Amino acid sequence: MQLVVDGKKHDVDVEEDMPLLWVLRDELNIKGVKYGCGIAACGACTVHINGEAVRSCQTFVSDVDGPVTTINGLGTPDALHAVQEAWVETQVAQCGYCQSGQVMQAASLLAENPTPTDDEIDEAMSGNLCRCGTYPRIRAAVKLAVTKTQGV
């Protein structure tokens, strides 16, 4: 099977029903993508396929029908995505384990809806669990990212 992840092509020899999450983490060693629940209940494994946020723990690798972007490809410490910039400036993280998924979910939201309302932010981000309870800062960071991307 061939996958394009963060702009790089990979040939993988795995079972068709292996979740994309584990192909990324254990076969391709892309560790920014996190395992939290395995049942799409926490969002820690969120990646983009064709630009859309999906839970990689519930996506069979054989169902991947386009390029995959992970947190490690969205931006890097030297070249941050606007959402990551906002996350750093707002100091969202505590343990940080969920934040890969939070950032990917937020980036997908803003790509689809550059100026979400408060309710739209809540709706889009509520599938991503944060056990540390950083939700007030997640909301603030999404709003900061909006201003960064809108240049206002």
Partner 1 sequence: MSKVGKIARRTFLIGSAAVVGGVAFGVYKVKTPYANPLEEDLAAGAATFNPWVVIDGDTITLIGPHGDKGQGVAHSQAALIAEELDLEFGQFEVSFGKPDKAYWNTAMASEGVPFMSTNQGFAAESMRSVMGGVMKLMGMQGTGGSTAIPDSFVKLREAGAVARETLKAAAAQKSGINTTALKTEAGHVILPDGTKLSYQELAPIAAGLDPVTDVKLRDPSQWRLIGKPMQRLDMLAKSTGTQAYGIDIETEGAVHAAVKVNPRQGGVLNSYDATTAKSMRGVQKVVEVTNGVAVIADNTWRAFQAVDAIDFDWGEAPYPAEQDGHWAALEASFNDDQLDSKWRDDGDVDAALATGKAITTEYRAPYVAHAPLEPLNATVLVEDGGVTVWTGHQLPRMLQQMVAAITGHDQDQIDFQNQYMGGSFGHRLEFEHVRQATEIANQMRGTPVKLTYSREEDFAHDFPRHPGIARAAGTVKNGQVEALDLQVTMPSVIGSQMGRANISVPGPDSQISAGSWNNPYGIANFRMRAYRAPELAPVSSWRSVGASANGFFFDCALDELIHAAGADPMQERIRLMDHDVSRKVLEAVAEMSSWGGQLAPNSGRGVAYVESFGVPTAEVVEVTNTPDGIRIDKVWVAADVGTVVDPVNFENLVQGGVVFGLGHAINCEITYADGMAEQSNFDSFEGMRLNQCPEIFVKGLENGNRIRGIGEPPVPPAAPALANAIFAATGQRIREMPFSKHISFA
The yes or no reply on residue 58 touching partner 1 (CB under 8 A) is no
Alpha carbons 133 and 136: distance in angstroms, whole number:
8
Pick one of 3, 98, 144, 146: the residue that binds partner 1 (CB under 8 A).
98
Alpha carbons 49 and 55: distance in angstroms, whole number:
10
Place of tokens 């890969």: 100
Q: How is residue 24 annotated by DSSP?
A: I
- What is the sign, positive or negative, of the torsion defined by CA atoms of 77, 80, 81, 82? positive
Pick one of 50, 62, 76, 147: the residue that binds partner 1 (CB under 8 A).
76
Alpha carbons 129 and 62: distance in angstroms, whole number:
27
- What is the smallest separation between the CB atom of 152 and partner 1, expressed in angstroms? 22
> 42 Cβ partners below 8 Å, 6+ apart?
36, 98, 101, 128, 129
Place of tokens 């939201």: 109
Nearer to partner 1, 38 or 67 (CB): 38
Q: Site map for partner 1, 12-51, x if CB under 8 A? A: --xx--xx-xx--xxx-x-xxxxxxxxx-xx-x-------
Judged by CB under 8 A, the stretch of 48-56, 77-85, 109-117, 143-151 that binds partner 1 is: 77-85
Pick one of 82, 130, 144, 146: the residue that binds partner 1 (CB under 8 A).
130
List contacts with partner 1 (CB under 8 A): 14-15, 18-19, 21-22, 25-27, 29, 31-39, 41-42, 44, 70-72, 75-77, 80, 84, 87-88, 91-100, 103, 122-123, 125-139
